Amino acid sequence: MRLAAHGIPFPAERVVTTASEAAEAAATLGYPVVVKLGGDTIAHKTERGLVRLRLGDAAAVHEAATSLLAAATPDDGAVHLLVAPMLSGQRELIAGLHHDAQFGMTVMLGVGGILAEAVADVAFRLVPVSRGDAASMIDDLATQKLLGPFRGEPAVDREALVDVIVGLSAAAVADPSIVAADLNPLIVVAGRPVAVDALVEVA
Amino acid sequence: MGAVNAEGFRALFEPRAVLVAGVSTHPGKFGFVSLHNLLASGYAGGVYGTSREVGEVLGIPIVASVEDLPDGVIDLVFVCTPAAANADLLRACAGKGIRAAFLASAGYAEVGEEGKALQDELVALAEELGMLVAGPNGQGVVSTPAQLCAQIVAPYPPAGGIAIASQSGNFISSFMNYSVQTGVGVSRAVSAGNAAQVTIPDYLEFFATDPVTTVALAYVEGVPDGRVFYERTRAVAARKPVVLVKGGATAGGQRAAASHTGSLASDDRVFDGMCRQAGITRAATIEEAFEAAATFATQPWPRGNRVVVLTTAGGWGVVAADAITRSSLTLAPLPDDLREALDGCLPPRWSRNNPVDLAGAETRDTIPEVIDLIVGHPEVDAVVYLGLGIQSNQAALMRGGPFYPDHGLERIVLYHERQDARFAQAAADASERYDKPVLTATELAVTHPDNAGPVAVRASGRICYPTANRAVTALDHLWRHVRNRQSDPKE
């Protein structure tokens, strides 16, 4: 994966093609799990209803996987199922890459995850970024309370978040064919950001 | 970029002699106004003029052709002639050893394709001649070390450390009007006009090396090559503060994009991030930009963000504290030993906390003593002083009233005015003694600019901020710049 090589943390994930294989993978990973429909041309899984959360047993996984496979359209091309542990965290962030017409490749950090566009609390920097730049992006966010200890969860590990931003920047430098990327949501699990869903657009 | 070099900038900002090309006898025309402003502002170098009509204007002999001028004497030509005439003019000027030109002439890229072609030719000619060509379509250039006011508008500002470059000539005037008002002076000011050959980053790079400049102040609308602007401006900001205000910040807005990141990437957010990364001090408004630049130019840099507010009355301090809370600054907890020291010179009704509210408890020497104690304390990084000038404001009412100068009014009026001048000086003295920023704010700076308090602040070389909020905003910019320098070794 283009981003994992640069230290972006992803949940352990299994790629399978049938509902039965999905149930086997879930048993290995441990319940609850998430099952998503994946494919080279599939973006914005949440909006299309291609993500099934909090599946607690084999029957639920089997049923979800079956309906996801049925939801694929001819435009989607070859599809597969992604099975991952259901990570829980009350805070969602977003990070990504965007090619700006004026300033070239930029990296973004924001709060809100799937609500990010509505919250609109984001910071941008030009790629490449230093660790100091990345730290200042975290400082720029208005919703600082969300980054401290929150509802029984520890404060967000700022160094881990800096790693994500610097990792995105490094991925863009290493692969100039990347024109955009979304880590959305970037769920804070026990204080550490994990990219539950990622989209990379290449030229 | 070959001709845009130190020698060209020296010719632009420190010319030994100036030629005005296209002098007019009509006092409403640029060709007259520019000559007038040059002569009226005390420029000591030689002044020459050319025009189709020979004769004498404002005591300067006007000749028909550059050929009639002496060789190797003139450094700068201020061009008011029509665009079509300028290529021949600049060739002739180069032949006389002129190394820089400022083109006020319009008729270039701002008028469309034909003008754009003319502008491209102008840049090619400038490079061929090895001449620095500022503008075209600009309002002029000011350089106080040379007492140079080569521009088609007012004002001519006092001398100081702020260097200004602007894509809009009008904002050169606005910034210099604030300079006149506040007394915080300008080193250089140049209207970039269409910025054909010499661009904003070129000026900023010159300002970075310019010994009379302490801070650069720029207004930009478009940044044609964003990456180059970023790289070059970042290098400048590492040497000297760069204060920037951008017009058109809300234009563009958010765009439809395939990615969430792209849909959040408005022009302004990306520009803002670029400024943060480059170490540029971005101001939201023209007055905020000037006040930030004036603060960089006149105040010591803070070593930390612990601020004490000193006020003679409650409400002012409360509002200042609110502003500090919303900024990157912190309202310093009042150190115990400082509280005890203040107890020693104040009656018990003072606030005993930060804001230090004297609550009218001051006597003749209290304020200078209190200022010195607070500014000198090692756990205080900066001070905002509020309430200056209230005594002199009362004095003004007494002086203008029917009872003056009897009933002891003359004596008390003079006493009040002396006291306010003393307080302002005490703030400046403590700032210098302890090398810490001390910002004085009162609306009297604009409502009654001849009040003895603001007058004394200006005489000390500092800006008297019109509100506590604006003082806090300026101090916030100062601290952010210092913090950025401290924390950001580029890895």
Tell me the shortest Cα–Cα distance from A176 to chain B, in angstroms: 16
Quick one: pLDDT band at residue B401, thresholds 50, 70, 90? very high
A148 and A59 inside one domain: no
For A90, counting Cβ atoms within 10 Å of its Cβ (0-12 exposed, 13-18 middle, 19+ buried), the class is exposed
**Shortest CA distance from B483: residue in chain A:** A136
Weakest mean pLDDT among A5-9, B387-391, B397-401, B423-427: A5-9
A81 and A97 inside one domain: no
B246 interaction partners in chain A (CB closer than 8 Å): none
* Alpha carbons A102 and B16: distance in angstroms, whole number: 40
B262 interaction partners in chain A (CB closer than 8 Å): 96, 98, 180
A56 and A26 inside one domain: yes
Question: What average pLDDT score do residues B327-343 get?
Answer: 97
Using one digit for the tens of pLDDT, what is the confidence trace for B40-69? Answer: 999 999 999 999 999 999 999 999 999 999
B490: pLDDT strictly greater than 50: no
A110 and A190 inside one domain: yes
Question: What average pLDDT score do residues B281-305 get?
Answer: 98
Quick one: pLDDT band at residue B113, thresholds 50, 70, 90? very high
Tell me the shortest Cα–Cα distance from A45 to chain B, in angstroms: 12
* Alpha carbons B152 and B140: distance in angstroms, whole number: 6
Instruction: Please tell me which residue, B249 or A150, carries the higher pLDDT value.
Output: A150
Specify which residues B220 forms β-bridges with: B246
Contact B490 A201 (CB under 8 A): no
Boundary-marking domain end, from A85, A120, A136: A85
**Shortest CA distance from B262: residue in chain A:** A98
Domain of A172 in residue numbering reads as: 91-202
Q: Which helix (H) or strand (E) holds B88?
A: helix B86-95
Residue type for B410, please? E
The proportion of chain B whose per-residue pLDDT surpasses 70, expressed as a percent, equals: 97
Tokens of B141: 């250039």
- Two domains, one topology: B6-295 and B300-483: yes
Number of domains in chain A: 2
B326: pLDDT strictly greater than 60: yes
| Chosen from A41, A44, A105, A124 to mutate, greatest number of chain B CBs within 10 A | A124
Question: In this complex, which of A103, A136, A182 lies closest to B270 when CB atoms are compared?
Answer: A103
| Chosen from A44, A98, A141, A168 to mutate, greatest number of chain B CBs within 10 A | A98
Specify which residues B165 forms β-bridges with: B190, B218
CATH code for the domain in which residue A69 is found: 3.30.1490.20
| Chosen from A94, A97, A126, A202 to mutate, greatest number of chain B CBs within 10 A | A126
B491: pLDDT strictly greater than 70: no
Question: In this complex, which of B230, B260, B267 lies closest to A126 when CB atoms are compared?
Answer: B230
Weakest mean pLDDT among A83-92, B192-201, B332-341: A83-92
Other Cβ atoms closer than 10 A to B116: 15
CATH code for the domain in which residue A182 is found: 3.30.470.20
Tell me the shortest Cα–Cα distance from B119 to chain A, in angstroms: 23
**Shortest CA distance from A132: residue in chain B:** B488
A199 interaction partners in chain B (CB closer than 8 Å): 259
Tell me the shortest Cα–Cα distance from A58 to chain B, in angstroms: 33
Contact A98 B269 (CB under 8 A): no
Tell me the shortest Cα–Cα distance from A56 to chain B, in angstroms: 30
Give chain A's radius of gyration (CA, Å). 17
User: Does residue B481 contact residue B241 with C-beta atoms inside 8 Å?
Assistant: yes
Quick one: pLDDT band at residue B107, thresholds 50, 70, 90? very high
A134 and A151 inside one domain: yes
A96 interaction partners in chain B (CB closer than 8 Å): 259-262
Tell me the shortest Cα–Cα distance from A21 to chain B, in angstroms: 31
Strands of the A14-16 sheet, one edge to the other: A14-16, A79-85, A33-39, A51-55
| Chosen from B223, B259, B280, B328 to mutate, greatest number of chain A CBs within 10 A | B259
Other Cβ atoms closer than 10 A to A203: 8
Residue type for B215, please? V
Comparing CA positions, the residue from A148, A165, A158, A169 lying closest to residue A192 is A158
Specify which residues B218 forms β-bridges with: B165, B244
A80 and A110 inside one domain: no
- Tell me which residue has tokens 């965007």: A98
Using one digit for the tens of pLDDT, what is the confidence trace for A138-195? Answer: 999 999 989 999 888 999 999 999 999 999 999 999 999 999 999 999 999 989 999 9
A108 and A56 inside one domain: no
Tell me the shortest Cα–Cα distance from A117 to chain B, in angstroms: 6
Boundary-marking domain end, from A85, A112, A138: A85
Tell me the shortest Cα–Cα distance from A57 to chain B, in angstroms: 32
A180 and A149 inside one domain: yes
Structural domain spans, chain B: 6-295, 300-483
Contact A100 B257 (CB under 8 A): no
Contact B273 A43 (CB under 8 A): no
A41 and A98 inside one domain: no
Residue type for A202, please? V
Maximum CA extent, chain A: 52
A102 interaction partners in chain B (CB closer than 8 Å): 223, 226, 267, 270-271
Quick one: pLDDT band at residue B319, thresholds 50, 70, 90? very high
A24 and A63 inside one domain: yes
A2: pLDDT strictly greater than 80: no
A184 interaction partners in chain B (CB closer than 8 Å): 260-261
Contact A132 B488 (CB under 8 A): yes
* Alpha carbons B381 and B324: distance in angstroms, whole number: 13
Question: What average pLDDT score do residues B197-218 get?
Answer: 98
Instruction: Report, at the CATH architecture level, how domain B300-483 is classified.
Output: 3-Layer(aba) Sandwich (3.40)
B259 interaction partners in chain A (CB closer than 8 Å): 96, 98, 180-182, 199, 201
Contact A132 B227 (CB under 8 A): no
**Shortest CA distance from A184: residue in chain B:** B260
B230 interaction partners in chain A (CB closer than 8 Å): 103, 126
Instruction: Please tell me which residue, A78 or A45, carries the higher pLDDT value.
Output: A78
CATH value of B6-295 in 3.30.70.100, 3.10.150.10, 3.40.50.261, 3.20.20.210: 3.40.50.261
Q: Is B27 on the interface with A (CB under 8 A)?
A: no
* Alpha carbons B136 and B92: distance in angstroms, whole number: 18
Contact B491 A130 (CB under 8 A): yes
Quick one: pLDDT band at residue B281, thresholds 50, 70, 90? very high
Q: What is the mean pLDDT of chain A?
A: 91
User: Does residue B76 contact residue B15 with C-beta atoms inside 8 Å?
Assistant: yes
Say how many CA atoms lie within 13 Å of A178 toward its Cβ: 24
| Predicted local confidence at residue B216, as pLDDT | 98
Contact B259 A122 (CB under 8 A): no
User: Does residue B99 contact residue B11 with C-beta atoms inside 8 Å?
Assistant: yes
Question: What average pLDDT score do residues B461-486 get?
Answer: 96
* Alpha carbons A107 and A181: distance in angstroms, whole number: 9
Quick one: pLDDT band at residue B252, thresholds 50, 70, 90? low
| Predicted local confidence at residue B280, as pLDDT | 98
Q: What is the mean pLDDT of chain B?
A: 95
Tell me the shortest Cα–Cα distance from A200 to chain B, in angstroms: 9
Q: Which residues, other chains included, contact B407 with Cβ-Cβ below 8 Å and sequence gap of 6+? A: none
Contact B277 A181 (CB under 8 A): no
Comparing CA positions, the residue from B184, B185, B202 lying closest to residue B193 is B202
* Alpha carbons B95 and B15: distance in angstroms, whole number: 17
CB pairs below 8 Å between A and B: how many?
Answer: 103
* Alpha carbons B208 and B237: distance in angstroms, whole number: 8
| Chosen from A100, A105, A109 to mutate, greatest number of chain B CBs within 10 A | A100
Contact B264 A110 (CB under 8 A): yes
B257 interaction partners in chain A (CB closer than 8 Å): 98, 180
* Alpha carbons A43 and A6: distance in angstroms, whole number: 22
- Sign of torsion, CA B242 B248 B254 B259? negative
Question: What average pLDDT score do residues B466-488 get?
Answer: 93
| Predicted local confidence at residue A45, as pLDDT | 74
Tell me the shortest Cα–Cα distance from A79 to chain B, in angstroms: 20
Comparing CA positions, the residue from B468, B160, B450 lying closest to residue B326 is B468
Using one digit for the tens of pLDDT, what is the confidence trace for B2-32? Answer: 778 999 999 999 999 999 999 999 999 999 9
Quick one: pLDDT band at residue B253, thresholds 50, 70, 90? very low
Boundary-marking domain end, from A85, A110, A128: A85
- Sign of torsion, CA B271 B277 B278 B281? positive
- Tell me which residue has tokens 């010591």: B300
A100 and A129 inside one domain: yes
Quick one: pLDDT band at residue B260, thresholds 50, 70, 90? confident
A106 and A80 inside one domain: no
| Predicted local confidence at residue B134, as pLDDT | 98
Strands of the B60-63 sheet, one edge to the other: B55-57, B60-63, B46-50, B17-21, B76-79, B100-103, B132-134
User: Does residue B339 contact residue B356 with C-beta atoms inside 8 Å?
Assistant: no
